[in-house]
Amino acid sequence: MLRLFRYYTPYKKLLAFAVLCNLLMSLFMVVSIPVLQPFLQILFSPGERNGASKSVLPLPQADGLHGIEQKINTFFNTLIQQHGREQALLIVCGFLVLTFFGKNLFRYLSLYFLAPVRNGIVRDLRQKLVAKMLDLPLSYFSEERKGDLMSRISADVQEVEWSIVGVVESVAREPLVILGSLTFMVFVSPQLLIFVFGLMLFSGLIIGGVGRSLRRQSGEAQSRLGLIGSLVEETLGGLRIIKGFNAEQWQQERFGRENTRYARTLTRLYRRKDLASPLSEFLGIGAVAVLLWFGAKQVFAGEITAATFITFLYAFYNIIEPAKQLSSASYSIRKGMGALERVESVLNAPVLIQDADNALAVNSFQEKIEFRDVTFHYQNSERQALENISLTIPRGKMVALVGASGAGKSTVADLLPRFYDVTGGAILLDGKDIRELKVRDLRALMGIVSQEAILFNDTVRNNIAFGSQLGALPGQSERGTDFSRVEAAAKAANAHEFIINMPEGYDTNIGDRGSKLSGGQRQRLTIARALLKNPPILILDEATSALDSESEKLVQAALDHLLQNRTALVIAHRLSTVQHADEIIVLDAGKIVERGTHEQLMREGKVYRKLVELQAL
């Protein structure tokens, strides 16, 4: 529980107001208990119908705490003598109404101040999770399910609100009520209080034993929910293949197995959680029965009055309900801690790619990029992805990487912007190890056009302006003063014509991942995005390999415009597109097996030539 407090730090003032209101609410609630005693004594004591010339309330001797009771009785005896029983009863009823009004007013105010705390903590957790996920390296996501991570942002954070933040008011309020009620009960009858302590001890042992496994089961349930989220995401993303292979039944059964396991885990979890209230109520009734028996003996013996005993029972009732709330809160907190641990496992994940303590700022690229004996292997991989890779890319030159699938081409490209860090050797930018440079500065020098056109569910304009601080903020429709640059980039990428023919032109929403566009249109938007950024270094994962001939010509023309006067590292799938590269690097199983120009490699007649001839067939 202690680690929860840091999430409340930004809301200290609101919490202070909430605690103050809880204190006042508890004060009014505790005050209502002794006020009930003279009410009952006025009601049941013999006396004149319209007045009383004698004392109707007992006046015990003033010793210790009983002196307080004497003062209360003296006050009400005076009240009765001055106003009569009925009028005094009306005054006592008014005082009871006032105390309960104060109790409920401050109860509402405490919840009023806690509402922004609850929502704020949930908002902060989600914000921190998203920020953390954006900071984490790509290697982290290769080991985690995307659906599970989405579950942590949604279901786990919501569980934290319901199970932990939602019961804070109970944890803050109920102990005060219990303490006040216990104080009154000590004052009335210490003997009767022994049974109350016995109940609390007995209940704590039983309920604590039942709830020990709740936290573990909660974590298991949330993990299974994350797996269900992953399966749903895979199903939606692969509907075309699932339907094409008539695999609907197989996918449904696969989901059904996990869904049933989750339901069973959740059933066990709820059964334990739901045991808290009836168990505590049963234990409470048992204690009340004992109290009725023992208290009645004290009344018969004249040790306490009947009104005092009834007031004691009322005070005991004020303990039972808060005790039940605390019991339920204990269960909820154990359940919520499992969800919080899953959230914090992401928040506490190490960020392996980050700036060094004395990282250097860099805002230009002048000479060359050098891969010097670079070795790399992926986490949990048995073999090296790259071995002793050495190559140089001079400023303004284009180097192409070719080879069979799995040769290591994309790995080389991912190491340059530090999506991963090398495990051996170094990558140098103008003679400086890129691990010594600020990551944001390094990536600001680079533009990336991937084979898969990665677009966002936003307008055409904002997708082109993505990352260039030229896009409109959510809710804005103004194009802004930089729209001319967006339009120029689109024209250079051969995208302007199809954009202006769309329903709302540059303000048309393109759907999830650009689903409203064709493959060639999506690629031209990504090229326009890179042109707008205007980076000195370009990483190009061949963007024409999955296009038809007409779209390929348009995209290739845009790429030629993009490559002018830039330093480029190009991953080539169609070898005809890199014949004019300044150097072609042929990779096989993570090693460089050939290098040279197109003409040199064709004359040597080794691996590269065979690849070209295979594609020409």
192 Cβ contact partners less than 8 Å away, ≥ 6 residues apart: 185, 291, 294, 295, 298, 312
CA distance 83 to 94: 14
CA distances from 140 to 145, 379, 424, 507, 553 (A): 10, 9, 20, 35, 37
CB atoms near residue 552 (< 10 Å): 20
Listed residue (362, 307, 339, 47) closest to 221, CA to CA? 339
Which residues pair with residue 424 across a beta bridge? Answer: 375
pTM over 0.85: no
CA dihedral 484, 487, 493, 498 (to 10 degrees): -170
Mean pLDDT of 290-314: 76
Mean pLDDT of 192-212: 63
CA distance 310 to 55: 21
Listed residue (283, 278, 66) closest to 189, CA to CA? 66
The pLDDT confidence band at residue 294, using thresholds 50, 70 and 90, is confident
Q: Work out whether strand 537-541 and strand 446-449 pair parallel, antiparallel, or are unpaired.
A: parallel
CA distance 245 to 413: 34
Mean pLDDT of 405-422: 87
Residue intervals in the chain for CATH 3.40.50.300: 362-445+569-617
Q: Is the Cα dihedral 272, 274, 276, 279 positive or negative?
A: negative
Beta carbons of 162 and 332 less than 8 angstroms apart: yes
Listed residue (160, 156, 152, 121) closest to 336, CA to CA? 160
CATH of 362-445+569-617, one of 3.40.50.300, 1.25.40.10, 3.20.20.60, 1.10.287.3510: 3.40.50.300
Q: Is the Cα dihedral 83, 85, 89, 92 positive or negative?
A: positive
The pLDDT > 70 percentage for the chain reads 77
Please say if the pLDDT value at position 151 is more than 80. Answer: no
Of 126-130, 152-156, 406-410, 503-507, the range with the lowest mean pLDDT is 152-156
**Superfamily covering domain 2-347:** ABC transporter type 1, transmembrane domain (1.20.1560.10)
Query: What residue ranges in 63-126 does DSSP mark as E strands?
Result: none
CA distances from 573 to 85, 403, 617 (A): 100, 8, 15
Please say if the pLDDT value at position 338 is more than 50. Answer: yes
Mean pLDDT of 19-23: 83
Q: At what angle do helices 190-211 and 306-347 cross, to 10 degrees?
A: 30
Tokens 């808060």 label which residue?
Answer: 322
Work out the mean pLDDT of the chain and round it to a whole number. Answer: 77
2 Cβ contact partners less than 8 Å away, ≥ 6 residues apart: none
CA distance 155 to 222: 8
CA distance 334 to 383: 43
CA distance 569 to 416: 9
Please say if the pLDDT value at position 50 is more than 60. Answer: no
Residue intervals in the chain for CATH 1.20.1560.10: 2-347
Read off the pLDDT of residues 340-384 as tens digits, 9 standing for 90 and up.
888 888 888 888 888 888 888 888 888 889 999 999 988 777 788
The pLDDT confidence band at residue 76, using thresholds 50, 70 and 90, is low
Mean pLDDT of 42-60: 50
CA distances from 178 to 173, 182, 325 (A): 9, 6, 11
Read off the pLDDT of residues 579-600 as tens digits, 9 standing for 90 and up.
888 899 998 888 889 888 888 8
Tokens 């209080």 label which residue?
Answer: 193
CA distance 487 to 337: 51
More confident residue, 289 or 62: 289
CB atoms near residue 131 (< 10 Å): 11
How high is the pLDDT of residue 575? Answer: 77
